Structure 1
């Protein structure tokens, strides 16, 4: 799951970088657009870094639990099955 999240972050980051470069090429002389693009780049640098840090902390927490507790996987109880026949009605 963590690896898939990382790939999704990279994919979104690449799409946003393509948008940034396209907008910068079209509107390279407008100061207002330049300010917006700087904010845009700041956002798209901070967001993936934040997501990667959160995933890294979750992974390290899992590794610590695996080492300390002996098992990183939770034991799940078996689901209760419905009875095959209904009890007799009095």
Structure 2
């Protein structure tokens, strides 16, 4: 699964002050993906990218929140529709 450090790199953050908040945002993304139908325990490149897009959306990265929200929603739909054997442990 994507780490706090990977998200901070994607958001161009360097300070550790927001680490706990970023961890909470990652957890919220995972819960949102699961509520849409992604099976628990999914850890692959697609789920990692969805989490990155969620975080960029929530932190309004580069002032483009709407774009990241749309991207996240599309990835969420794909993850919810893939058969479990294709997403669990794939990554």
TM bucket (normalised to shorter chain) is 0.3 to 0.5
Q: Which has the higher contact order (CA 8 A, sep 6+)?
A: 2
